[in-house]
Each structure stands twice: as C-alpha cells, then as structure tokens.
C-alpha cells in the first residue's frame, strides 16, 4: 500500500494524491495548479502515472485546484468513476466546461501572438469535449453514506465546512490482509463561516493528510457582526467618493457568502439601495446549486432564507450574462461589481480593473486569499503600477480588505480541529501550504500533540504498511516517470519581467537625456546576449 504526492506538496494548489494497492489504484483529487505562471506550467506536464491505470477518483470538493485536471485525466485515458458529494457533482457540471473555455480562449489569444512572432501553436490542456466526458463519469454520493468503490476500499464523506458540499474524506483501504484508515481533510473551513455548517471532527485515523494554507498564520478573530460592520463601513465610504466598488470574488462560495451578508445588511437597512451586479455567468449557475440544497445551510442562513424567501433574491441584486452586459458597466458609477476570478489572474475582473483601477473615486475590496505572484497579491501588497493585458495601469483606487471570509481555518482553527483526534496516528502528512506555512504547522503538531509528522515534497511516495516513525519515502516519482520536482517561487520570472517592463517604462519616461537612455539600453542588451 503506497501513497504518492503529485500536487499541493510544497505549494497550495494542484491537489493530487495517488494510492496504490495490489488490486487497485485511485486518486484523491486531481487539481489544477494556480498562482504564478511558473506554477501553472505544471498543468501542461505529463502526469506522473498512466491515467488509464487509475481505477477511480475521489474528490474532496469542487474547487478547480482540486478538480481542474479531471478532463485532462480523461483526455489521456482515464475511464473510471469519479465520486463526490452531490453538490460537488452539480457544481462541476458548470465549473469544468468553464475551465475548458478559459483555456481555449487563452490559447487562442496566445496563438495569435505566437503566429505573429513566428512561434509554433499551442494546444489547450483540454477542451469542452474532454470536460463533458469527465462530467459523464461523476457519481454523486450522500454525505455520511458508506460506499465501496472497490473490494477492500470503503469511503465516507464528512462535512469539511469549507464550501457547500466540501468533504473530509475517510477511506479504509485493505491490502495484503491489513487495513489502514486514511483521512483527507481537503480544505478545512472555519467555525461560523457563512451559509455552511461547521466542519465535522474526526476521532481516529492511521494516516491524516491535513491542509496548511494558513498553518503559520493566526488571523484576528472576526465575529459575524464585526464582518458585517466592516462591509457596511466600506460601502458607505465608497459611496461618498461616488465611484464603483469592485470585488474580486471566486464564483464558487465567496460570491454566495458576500451576497448572503449584503442581504443581511440590506434587510437591516444598514446600507443603501446601491445595486450589486454579479458579473459572472458561472456565478449565476453555481448560485442555483446553493439554492438547490437548503438542507445544508447553517442556522443563520436557514433563518435568513425563511425570513427573506431566499438568500440570493433581492431587487438590488443582478446577474449578468453576456459580454455586452459586462462592457455596459464601464460608464456606470455608484454600483458594486462582483466578478471572478478572486485572485484577479483571469476572467472579467481583469477588464474591470483595467478600466477602473486608476480612478481614486473607485474602491477595490479583497475578501480572500491572494496567492504569491497573482495580480491580486501585487495590488494588495501596495504596487503603484501593474500590467493588465500587456498594458501599464496605475493603482489609484482605494484598496481595502475585509477579513472574516476565508474558507480556510487559520493555525488556531487547524489545531482546534486536530484536538479531537483521540488516538496516536501512525503519521500526519502536512500538505496544501507554502513551504514556510507547512513547516511551521508541522512543528506545532509535533510539539503540541507528539504525533509523527512529515511535510512531503512533490513526487514523494510512502509505504503505508508497517509504517513507523523512521519510515522514509520509498521513491521519488521522478525515478519512475521523468517529471521535475516542483519549485514554488514567490516571484517567478514572469513577475520579474512585468516589474522590469514597468520600471523600464518609467526610466524612458523620466530620463530625458537621449545619450544616457541609449547607453543604459545598450548595457542591458549586452547582458541579455
């Protein structure tokens, strides 16, 4: 029995774990790498295993960094079932085709540029046909219902409290007449998160894969009322300036959380009748999934739904469909535009930022995690200028951040969740975190609980039978399949290139002496030869 780590090891995204026994092989999650361009290049590399040899896949939840390479898996030969909770299945019916369309459009744009440069054309990672094939393999399973995808394998989905349908996955695997329980947290939510119930606790396991997105961070505790007050204050200040409020928000979960809280404030009459436009057809489709599963709401959301007749129905809420509707928002003021992606690295939000980021009357509100190297992180970290669609844009708008919306437990929340584990697991694997975060959290687990803990590297494999504290990785995937280990970078060459272009533009703008400019550029060109 062996487990291998092919994603979310040494970084936050790309979750992908392979479990092998004598009789079957399966994956837990098959996610896309997100973040800077160097990290995303991993999406184009070959899998470290033969997809045709995988018997089935189990998903923790619908986010693309946990599911986004499923169509690629199918494209390269996988034909087995994919098990997930029913809300996750419903969400993926919209998310996977949307992911395929994004890639097809991006590759089309790149190929137009490459053609002019005389470069060979690129192919998308997968297309909508591959996404449709992947969707046909999805099997919805009720939470807490024990099911067996193979002889000697039993699975139960528990609530992870991260997004609607998210699961802590408990798997019992039997191999060579020995059984091991393996628990995957997926992404763990905070207690008292909007809409969803608090995460379930696990009492015992042999092996635990625990996320560490915020393993080295303790967020200031923000109550529901403090969160609502922060929204109201930002809205009021923004309205005084008379411009737009732009909110980069992921189509899944963060958009619905914000609509939930804005609805509360409107119901209390704590904010005005300012119109809220959700500029994302995908958000509209995913919101329908939330409407479909009211039995999964927490107490607050249930009470609000009963009182208002729905969480997302209000005269001041509007969802756009077409590109024309999106463009028509450009000249408008005194509106809120909520659009994806949440890290500003794709989607319609980039167009809205390009047209509005320069204007001091406007406000940009960040409500979620911004990965290193993304446009959102650059803006949040105080960049004075950024490049959007190849153009230089000044950051003149007011930049704000509202805490309390993270779908991930912080360090205290993760430790609190782990306190209910009553046995001494054979091993804790700390995954889904930047290196500093994972290492610090692993040390805390060791010190606080005395558990055996390791931070697996990309491509590490471990034998789960006869496991003890001295067990080391049995192999590197690179010894089996030629695939370089992941090297996560806070600022990759693409970030440095964008910074260089901005500085070069400033130099050319402010250095008036032609001889000085020519000399400096000649020096740079010489170094680049």
- For 189-227, write each residue's pLDDT tens digit: 988 889 999 999 999 999 999 999 999 999 888 888 999
> In the predicted model, is pLDDT for residue 475 greater than 50?
no
Query: 3-class SS at 446?
Result: helix
Percent of the chain whose pLDDT exceeds 90: 73
Task: Give the closest residue to 470 by CA, choosing from 527, 409, 427.
Answer: 427
Do residues 211 and 351 both lie within one domain?
no
Number of domains in the chain: 3
Do residues 321 and 432 both lie within one domain?
no
Helix-helix angle 299-308:254-267, to 10 degrees = 60
> Which residue is listed with tokens 């009963």?
306
Rounded to an integer, what distance in angstroms lies between the CA atom of residue 217 and that of residue 482? 35
Q: How confident is the model at residue 467 (pLDDT cuts 50, 70, 90)?
A: low
Strand partners, 20: 2, 25
Range of the domain at 209: 2-218+408-480
Rounded to an integer, what distance in angstroms lies between the CA atom of residue 344 and that of residue 34? 12
For residue 477, the model assigns a pLDDT of: 36
- For 117-134, write each residue's pLDDT tens digit: 898 998 999 999 999 999
Environment class of 144 (CB within 10 Å of its CB; exposed 0-12, middle 13-18, buried 19+): exposed
Sheet holding 427-431, edge to edge: 147-150, 153-159, 167-175, 178-184, 207-211, 427-431, 453-454
Task: Give the closest residue to 68 by CA, choosing from 86, 43, 85.
Answer: 43
Task: Give the closest residue to 6 by CA, choosing from 17, 506, 190.
Answer: 17
Rounded to an integer, what distance in angstroms lies between the CA atom of residue 84 and that of residue 138? 7
Task: Give the closest residue to 376 by CA, choosing from 412, 352, 404.
Answer: 352
pTM for this model (two decimals): 0.86
> In the predicted model, is pLDDT for residue 228 greater than 80?
yes
Distances (CA, A) of 241 to 237, 238, 274, 330, 362: 7, 5, 13, 17, 7
Do residues 348 and 438 both lie within one domain?
no
SS3 per-residue string spanning 209-267 = EEECCECCCCCCCCCHHHHHHHHHHHHHHHHHHCCCEEEECCCCCHHHHHHHHHHHHHH
For residue 145, the model assigns a pLDDT of: 97
Per DSSP, helices labelled H in 118-185 are 128-136
Run of H or E including 208: strand 207-211
Is the Cβ–Cβ distance between 130 and 141 less than 8 Å? no
Please give the residue that has the higher pLDDT: either 434 or 431. 431
End-to-end CA distance of the chain: 51
For 166, the token pair is 């998210």
For residue 373, the model assigns a pLDDT of: 75
DSSP state, 9?
Answer: S
496: how many CB neighbours lie within 10 A of its CB?
Answer: 11
Per DSSP, helices labelled H in 85-208 are 86-117, 128-136
pLDDT mean over 448-474:
82
Q: How confident is the model at residue 485 (pLDDT cuts 50, 70, 90)?
A: very low
Choosing from 369, 401, 433, the residue where a domain stops is 401
Do residues 173 and 300 both lie within one domain?
no
Is the Cβ–Cβ distance between 395 and 363 less than 8 Å? no
Do residues 214 and 234 both lie within one domain?
no
Q: How confident is the model at residue 297 (pLDDT cuts 50, 70, 90)?
A: very high
pLDDT mean over 458-477:
70
Query: 3-class SS at 365?
Result: strand
Do residues 146 and 187 both lie within one domain?
yes
Choosing from 372, 401, 430, the residue where a domain stops is 401
Rounded to an integer, what distance in angstroms lies between the CA atom of residue 103 and that of residue 69? 12
Choosing from 374, 401, 428, the residue where a domain stops is 401
Inside any domain, residue 187: yes
> In the predicted model, is pLDDT for residue 492 greater than 60?
yes
Do residues 248 and 391 both lie within one domain?
yes
Inside any domain, residue 234: yes
For residue 504, the model assigns a pLDDT of: 78
Inside any domain, residue 190: yes
Inside any domain, residue 488: no
What is Dmax (Cα atoms) for the chain? 80
Rounded to an integer, what distance in angstroms lies between the CA atom of residue 162 and that of residue 409? 9
- For 238-259, write each residue's pLDDT tens digit: 989 989 999 999 899 999 999 9
Inside any domain, residue 436: yes
Do residues 264 and 359 both lie within one domain?
yes
- CATH number for the domain spanning 431: value is 3.60.15.10
Do residues 234 and 212 both lie within one domain?
no
Inside any domain, residue 27: yes
Q: How confident is the model at residue 82 (pLDDT cuts 50, 70, 90)?
A: very high
| Least confident stretch, 100-109, 196-205, 487-496 | 487-496
Do residues 327 and 470 both lie within one domain?
no
Run of H or E including 178: strand 178-184
Inside any domain, residue 96: yes
Do residues 184 and 65 both lie within one domain?
yes
For residue 476, the model assigns a pLDDT of: 42
Rounded to an integer, what distance in angstroms lies between the CA atom of residue 370 and that of residue 376? 6
Per DSSP, helices labelled H in 29-85 are 37-40, 64-67, 70-75
Distances (CA, A) of 136 to 29, 90, 131, 226, 278: 17, 12, 9, 43, 29
> In the predicted model, is pLDDT for residue 313 greater than 60?
yes
Rounded to an integer, what distance in angstroms lies between the CA atom of residue 308 and that of residue 38? 46
For residue 468, the model assigns a pLDDT of: 60
Inside any domain, residue 273: yes
> In the predicted model, is pLDDT for residue 471 greater than 70?
no
Query: 3-class SS at 179?
Result: strand
237: how many CB neighbours lie within 10 A of its CB?
Answer: 13
Backbone dihedral angles phi then psi of residue 279, each to the nearest 5 degrees = -90, 75
For residue 480, the model assigns a pLDDT of: 33
Rounded to an integer, what distance in angstroms lies between the CA atom of residue 39 and that of residue 489? 8
For 522, the token pair is 């000649």
Rounded to an integer, what distance in angstroms lies between the CA atom of residue 434 and that of residue 125? 25
Task: Give the closest residue to 207 by CA, choosing from 175, 186, 185, 180.
Answer: 180
Please give the residue that has the higher pLDDT: either 119 or 325. 325
Do residues 160 and 192 both lie within one domain?
yes
- CATH number for the domain spanning 261: value is 3.40.50.10890
């Amino acid at each position: 029995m062996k487990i291998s780590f092919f994603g979310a090891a040494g970084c936050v995204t790309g979750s992908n774990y392979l479990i092998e026994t004598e009789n079957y092989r399966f994956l837990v999650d098959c996610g896309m790498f997100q973040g800077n361009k160097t990290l995303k290049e991993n999406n184009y590399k070959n899998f470290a295993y033969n997809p045709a040899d995988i018997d089935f896949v189990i998903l923790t939840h619908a986010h693309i960094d946990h599911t986004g390479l499923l169509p690629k898996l199918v494209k390269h030969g996988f034909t087995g079932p994919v098990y997930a909770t029913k809300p996750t299945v419903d969400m993926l019916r919209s998310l996977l085709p949307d992911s395929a369309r994004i890639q097809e459009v991006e590759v089309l744009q790149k190929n137009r540029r490459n053609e002019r440069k005389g470069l060979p054309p690129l192919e998308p990672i997968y297309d909508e046909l591959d996404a449709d094939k992947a969707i046909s393999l999805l099997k919805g399973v009720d939470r807490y219902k024990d099911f067996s995808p193979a002889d000697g394998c039993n699975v139960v989905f528990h609530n992870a409290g991260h997004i609607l349908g998210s699961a802590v996955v408990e798997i019992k695997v039997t191999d060579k007449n020995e059984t091991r329980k393996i628990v995957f947290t997926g992404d763990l939510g905070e207690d008292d998160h909007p809409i969803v119930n608090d995460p379930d606790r696990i009492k015992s396991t042999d092996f635990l894969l625990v996320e560490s997105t915020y393993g080295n961070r303790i967020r200031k505790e923000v109550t529901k009322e403090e969160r609502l007050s922060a929204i109201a204050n930002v809205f009021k200040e923004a309205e005084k300036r008379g411009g737009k409020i732009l909110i980069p928000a992921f189509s899944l979960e963060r958009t619905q959380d914000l609509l939930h809280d804005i609805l509360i404030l409107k119901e209390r009459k704590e904010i005005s009748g300012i119109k809220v436009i959700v500029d994302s057809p995908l958000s509209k489709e995913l919101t329908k999934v939330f409407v479909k599963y009211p039995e999964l709401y927490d107490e607050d959301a249930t009470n609000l739904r009963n009182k208002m007749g729905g969480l997302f129905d209000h005269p001041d809420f509007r969802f756009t469909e077409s590109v024309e509707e999106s463009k028509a928002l450009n000249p408008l003021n005194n509106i809120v535009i909520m659009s994806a992606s949440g890290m500003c690295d794709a989607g319609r939000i980039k167009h809205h930022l390009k047209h509005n980021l320069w204007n001091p009357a406007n406000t940009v509100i960040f409500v979620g995690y911004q990965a290193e190297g993304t446009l959102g992180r650059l803006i949040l970290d105080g960049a004075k200028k950024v490049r959007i669609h190849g153009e230089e844009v000044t950051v003149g708008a007011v930049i704000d951040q509202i805490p309390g919306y993270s779908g991930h437990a912080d360090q205290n929340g993760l430790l609190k969740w782990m306190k209910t584990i009553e046995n001494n697991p054979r091993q804790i694997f700390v995954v889904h975190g930047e290196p500093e975060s994972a290492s610090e959290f692993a040390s805390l687990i060791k010190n606080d609980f005395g558990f055996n803990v390791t931070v697996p590297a990309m491509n590490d494999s471990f034998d789960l039978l006869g496991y003890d504290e001295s067990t080391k990785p049995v192999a590197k995937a690179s010894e089996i399949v030629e695939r370089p280990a992941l090297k996560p970078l806070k600022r990759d060459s693409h970030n440095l290139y964008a910074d260089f272009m901005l500085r070069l533009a400033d130099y050319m703008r402010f250095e008036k002496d032609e001889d000085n400019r020519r000399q400096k550029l000649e020096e740079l060109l010489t170094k680049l030869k």
